[in-house]
Structure 1
Amino acid sequence: MKILFRSLLCSLLVLAAGCATTHDQSNAAPPAHVDAKPASAPLLLISIDGYRTDYLARGLSPTLQALADGGVRATDGMQPSFPSLTFPNHYTLVTGLRPDHHGIVNNTMTDPVLGKFSLGNREAVSNGRWWDEGTPLWETVQKQGLKSATMFWPGSEADIHGQHPSDWKPYDGNVTADQRVDQVLAWLDLPADQRPTFITLYFDEVDHAGHSYGPDSPQVNDAIRHTDAALARLVRGLTERGQLDHINLIVVADHGMAHAPTHQMVLVDKLIPLKHVEVVSMGVLAGFNPKPGFDFARIEATLEKPQKHMTCWDKTRVPARLAYGSNPRVPQLLCLADVGWRISSSDYVAKKKTTTQGEHGYDNAAPEMQALFIAHGPAFRQGAQVPSFPNVDVYPLMTHLLDVPAAANDGDYNVVKGMLKPEAQ
């Protein structure tokens, strides 16, 4: 199997030039009284944002396929947590907590003390108080005297509980996939006492193409090819350094992608007067809070009736299987669009013409939302296929691989331990 894998790598694209140019952010050294424990095999967690699990069957990802053939793959994908959005699920992966428990309940949300949070609000994104309901893995690793490094990961720009990863990068979409890979390889080239044991790597081209053009577009196929070429660069770099057989790789997606034609829009202002509510979010998952002086119970009663192309609940009546609604940041009234639909308003549509063709955030059980999971390395079985499992289980798998104590989490190691070789369980 190893010979076949290396043979496949040799047939991939030639090594391209380029290196990461963003500046290092180094801090969060372990307290002086903590003795660094002997490092386990390094763990590299790779996210390909928006890589729907069935994309692998398109035959456009030879590197990913080789990793799967030589390791473990969830054949029907990994189930994201609800809502199937980017920031909530990336933070779930590194905390093992569902969004309702770690507090990043949406890409757009409000907090009575902290105000408003959105992906483009760098002040909020870098404020650790938004993130401190969870304990990210890099914090736990550093408490054990080990080092961590994040090549872009939601949460890593914030001073959560007073610290960042040992090395981290502020998100910059202009940093190419190859440059991101080169930075990871540079971290692995550090002397042993400086080298991170836990590293994350983030790719976003597949997600961007899926939103702009839809999951079945030629542009998504191109993005899949480009990202796989960057992964080939990573594997070649690891092979050249003699590290490929000594590092555990986990490749995941945060969610899938669904075709969402621009005309499939629920205009919620046709059902309720929007000036009578606080609008927290629109899109696939819309959220509304009461506004003083208006009859919110009547608004809830209206929207909780059967609606075309969406379902609405008071947060206390969200189906239990979604594990969502207890966090104070969850809006009082939620409306979830059917797969392929969005929720918006007439004013928004008139002011900003929607041109995107793909969406996520839908019911996390929807086939279109299922996410990639592949694992490869010395701890993992070879050529193994496993059934679908919830993404909260990735966290206890990683703490086991790193031999660090797990923080309180919603995951179950017993669900995923069968991925490992008997001696690694």
Structure 2
Amino acid sequence: MRILVISIFLLSFCNGFSQKVAKPYVVLVSLDGFRWDYPDIFDTPNLDRLAQNGVKAKSMQPSYPTKTFPNHYSIVTGLYPDHHGIVNNNFYDKEIQKVFTLKTAVKREAHFYGGNPIWNLAEQQGVKTACYYWPGSDTGVKSPSIFKIYDDTVSYESRINTVIDWLSLSESERPHLITLYFDQPDKTGHDFGPLSAENKKTVTEVDAVIGQLMQRLDALPIGKEINLIVLSDHGMASISNDKKVAILDYLQPEWYGYAAVINPIMSLEAKPEYTEAIANALKKVPNIKWYPSAKVPKRLHFGANPRALDFVIEAEEGFSLVYKPDQKVSGGTHGYDNDIQDMQAIFYAKGPNFKIGKKAKSFRNVSVYPLIAEILGLKTETIDGDLAEVKAMLRN
């Protein structure tokens, strides 16, 4: 009997030990533009099930500005846009005199991207990674072992199939960190507005995609070893054509060099002799907030990077900032102050490293980086994120 008891104890100890040292898996999924309160407004049974079986944060605070590329890159670097350099979806780098834009291949040029993305941190420490789309993953420098160049024509089902194929590779080839990006419900939110019937339909469809992904992951032989994180980059606010501010109504084109207007935010390069004229003109513009870059509020962690240019201008919530008076706007947008409720994002997670049924407090998106690093056993460098913000989600 004593031998049997000892044998059972040793077997249990060995099993527990093997689970402790085994490298878990992390699948990081982004739903672009999925506002924090959509699950309260629309039917999302699969996200609800994910919350029941894991962790749901009240919300996740995006970094400023609340745009797609800056926030996706903040999530995977643990740095604010001011520190990693992707300060907006479009911006001008005065040092190299080059415009970064999502419309051309320039967005894949590595020199724009600072920081050490989580996939590169993992690769440096012997963990294989793969990205099915993520800003900064397809530059060819500091890239994952496997990556895809963005192509919005690839179906969501095909993306999921590929992720499952990656997780079905031999153990030596299998990535332990995978990112997966879906561009909805952002597109529909922009076109029709966050509370539209069209967006309700899209949110339901995206939720079904998450359900399909969970089912496929759970069916894998390694399903119980996979930590699934589902989050978004920012929220969405309603806008209308009768609430807009046109810059050309107030500023003369000869006063400035480059002007990056990505509704509802703008960065402006002033000609030195017109800096005072611009400041005086901006004082008269209604329904905006504006700052010389050196005086952006500290809580926004923005303005120190030269790519922010000389002035930062932002429309008040619900208003649009456009270049020309005849530009039409409707539906929804994002980019506003990251304290605004409609800009907040979602965070859900489940898996062997997460508590079950945990309701977490709101936290900054830069703290996702140390969370993933902790799960994968990675040593991090100096970042803006803080593991202490999110550690309560994890099992001891």
Q: TM-score, normalised by structure 2?
A: 0.91
**Letter of the 1:287 counterpart:** S
Partner residue in 1 for 2:78: 96
1:172-321 correspondence runs (5 A): 172-282=151-261, 283-291=263-271, 294-303=273-282, 305=283, 307-321=285-299
SS of residue paired to 1:149: strand
Asked if residue 141 in structure 1 is aligned to residue 122 in structure 2, the reply is yes
Among 299, 305, 309, the alignment partner of 1:331 is: 309
CA distance in 1 between partners of 2:43 and 2:173 (Å): 36
After superposition, what is the alpha-carbon deviation per residue over 1:22-70, rounded to whole angstroms, capped at 9, x for unaligned?
xxxxxxxxxxxxxxxx761110111000000100113422111101111
Asked if residue 62 in structure 1 is aligned to residue 45 in structure 2, the reply is yes
Q: 1:114 to 1:380 in 2, by over 3 A?
A: farther
CA distance in 1 between partners of 2:151 and 2:144 (Å): 17
Deviation at 1:298, TM superposition (A): 2.0
Partner residue in 2 for 1:21: none
Partner residue in 2 for 1:52: 35
CA distance in 2 between partners of 1:286 and 1:229 (Å): 36
Partner residue in 2 for 1:121: 104
**Is the 8 Å Cα contact of residues 91 and 154 (structure 1) preserved in structure 2?**
yes
Q: TM-score, normalised by structure 1?
A: 0.85
CA distance in 2 between partners of 1:415 and 1:163 (Å): 27
Partner residue in 2 for 1:368: 342
User: Structure 1 residues 324-333 or 237-246, which shifts more?
Assistant: 237-246
CA distance in 2 between partners of 1:158 and 1:228 (Å): 30
Asked if residue 71 in structure 1 is aligned to residue 54 in structure 2, the reply is yes
Among 329, 335, 342, the alignment partner of 2:320 is: 342
CA distance in 1 between partners of 2:334 and 2:26 (Å): 28
CA distance in 2 between partners of 1:281 and 1:240 (Å): 47
After superposition, what is the alpha-carbon deviation per residue over 1:108-166, rounded to whole angstroms, capped at 9, x for unaligned?
101121500011121x11110001x211011111111221101110111113xx34211
**Letter of the 2:56 counterpart:** R
**Is the 8 Å Cα contact of residues 259 and 267 (structure 2) preserved in structure 1?**
yes
- Unaligned stretches of 5+ in structure 1? 1-37
1:404-423 correspondence runs (5 A): 404-422=378-396
Deviation at 1:262, TM superposition (A): 2.2
**Is the 8 Å Cα contact of residues 151 and 201 (structure 1) preserved in structure 2?**
yes
Deviation at 1:239, TM superposition (A): 2.1
**Letter of the 1:66 counterpart:** R
**Is the 8 Å Cα contact of residues 45 and 249 (structure 1) preserved in structure 2?**
yes
Partner residue in 2 for 1:28: none
Asked if residue 109 in structure 1 is aligned to residue 91 in structure 2, the reply is yes
CA distance in 2 between partners of 1:356 and 1:134 (Å): 35
**Letter of the 1:126 counterpart:** R
Asked if residue 400 in structure 1 is aligned to residue 374 in structure 2, the reply is yes
CA distance in 1 between partners of 2:138 and 2:304 (Å): 26
CA distance in 1 between partners of 2:323 and 2:135 (Å): 29
CA distance in 1 between partners of 2:86 and 2:329 (Å): 27
> Percent of aligned positions with the same letter in both sequences?
37
Among 146, 150, 153, the alignment partner of 1:167 is: 146
**Is the 8 Å Cα contact of residues 177 and 227 (structure 1) preserved in structure 2?**
no
Q: CA-atom RMSD, angstroms?
A: 1.5
**Letter of the 2:139 counterpart:** A
**Letter of the 1:308 counterpart:** P
Q: List structure 1 runs of 4+ shifted beyond 4 angstroms.
A: none
SS of residue paired to 2:308: coil
**Letter of the 2:117 counterpart:** P
Deviation at 1:278, TM superposition (A): 1.9
